[in-house]
Chains A and B, each alone.
Chain A
Amino acid sequence: MKWVVAAAVALLLALPAWLNSYAVTVFIFIFFYAFLGQAWNIVGGYAGQLSAGHAAFVGVGAYTSALLSARLGLTPWLGMLVGGALSAVLGTVVGYLGFRFGLRGFYFVLLTVAFAEVCRIVALNTDAVGGALGYYITFTGDPRQFQFQDNRAYYYVALGLMLVATAIVAAIERRRFGAYLIAIREDEQACEALGVNTFRYKMLAMVVSSFLTGVGGTFYAFYLFSLQPSSVFGIPLSVEIVIRPIVGGAGTVLGPILGSFILSPLAEASRIYFGQGGWSGAHLIAYGLLLIAVVLFLPQGAYPALRRLWLRSAR
């Protein structure tokens, strides 16, 4: 298995040499959303705490590093850590409220959505961050300011983010932290009876997840250069984050990556074929259908199903 992974990584590293700029962009989005999905995977996939408001962390991270760069000249390479930290603070608050008050399943989902929407509304009404018009970042192309002239540089950054997040998830899965999260997802009360401090581990998952997502926010800001509250805090982004691990396999290391490789090209293809301008469109119909299909037929996601097929054929 390790050989396959190494070969794949090598391939991805070498790829930009053969791709045109458009294809590079597609890959950037594959990697970036895989990264966000992987971050979500920690708390949503492994710990089983479905959060539909992760966009809130992207937004916090994005606005933080953007503002720090503009007002204080702080390079986003550091700004992303601050953004991540602030997102982690928000994550701590949401997690604390949710877990301390025993919110499970649907109620927890609603809590996360509520927080994301509150962030969106606040941002929409705060002129200091651009309000309804959004916040714009001037393009300088300065690498020390996390801006690059060449698309390929963004490709490598995004790939790097995805690999780091994946490594973190793989490390978690190998250790007690991961085993506990999986057990918590199965049955929290039984875990408590076995000496697992479920509150602490859920919080830890939430903090790590929100930190990483916040870091991703910086990439978002300095790749797209414009921050609109409804895009960066909105439910559509949360859906994009959540759907990749779900389709690919929540609670697995490769799930979010697989999901992203399935969904991003799908989105692009339907965008091309249906030609609807703008952000939402026909590709979301495909998302919806895919989500329904996964829930009904492959509830554990594509990766576990593929693995079963592989194991069966290997006999």
Chain B
Amino acid sequence: MAFLIIDRRQQGKQKSAVNRQRFLKRFRKHIKEAVSDAVNKRSITDMERGEEISIPKKDISEPIFRQGSGGKHHRVLPGNKEFIRGDRIDRPKGGDGGGGGKASNQGEGMDEFVFELNQQEFLDFMFEDLELPNLVRKQLKDSDSYKLVKGGYLREGIPARLNVVQSLKGAKARRIALGGAIRREIKSLEQAFEALDDEDSEEGREISDKLERAQRRLNQIPFLDDFDLRYNNMIQQPTPTTSAVMFCLMDVSGSMTQDIKDLAKRFFVLLHLFLKRHYQKTEVVFIRHHTKADEVDEEEFFYSRETGGTVVSSALELMNTIVRERYPTDSWNIYAAQASDGENWTDDSPKCRDLLVKSLLPLVQYYAYVEISSGKEQELWQTYSEIPEHFPERFAMRVVKEPADIFPVFRDLFERKST
């Protein structure tokens, strides 16, 4: 009998991908909660991986009409060891003895539906509905985003770009130009023919011969020739793109305990991850400060242990310098996030406020200040709290008290605003 063996292994294995996405979409509320919990529990170095998610089984059950417990149930079971007819057995505790058909009880996880969210999906859920606020398209020299615009016509090109109207126009002109002489000749021959008395005479036959030949020549001019063809020319024009720079300003002074630094770093890790993922063209400038501010690289920003006193304005001044040197506001969207415990050198806070209000806030799209303190609001917070009324769109400040606050505050700061 004829039969067939097919090797399917090379073919796609993601047949269920759509169904998987549908599932994730349907239970997004549950999954988002689980993701938030997971983010709060994870260590800083461990943000980028999948996660095991569990959802209460009753929330995702597919109901059908089925028998409940109660009434009379007969069952036949295998493996009788000691029973004889008429024996009476106490009902097992716990299960209500219905025995309807649920017999597998592996102890744990009966009420939870557990599955693995992969890294991609995890990050998607983590940063869903977040964005950089007030992002504006600005012209940029090294932009690599182009759009194609029409730029005249070419004699050569691909069939898809053929411009029919131009091609036919050209053909028509050519036909008129090439045929002009012949048509003139035909016209004069016709006149001569009509002037004749006897059309059958020697002369008459000669003229009609010539006429016939001229007509044939006219017909031989092609309707459309290769060199009539015109193609649309498309040229690349650079388009304005969104380019953004994020300044991360972190306080590493002595008053910042290890716990507080840890929270600040958590905040910046999330921010960094978010930018890397959603805005590929974004640059990040890391500034850390105690009494003196330094621009550092990512590695040093997150892992260095240097410390000292506190002068917050040093960081703002450095940021101001860098912005004016490297990031002209006509081509950059500028963002800044500052994290601190709020303690500052007494005379320095008003200076910070003035720097912000006068120099920095007019330049930036958005400035977020995160104060990490478990007690009451600190000096910097009090000084800053005058700012929001002047720049309600651009300035936001939040307090973080414990690790669990980080993610909600982060989401809150970058929540997509409906417009």
Chain A complexes with chain B: no
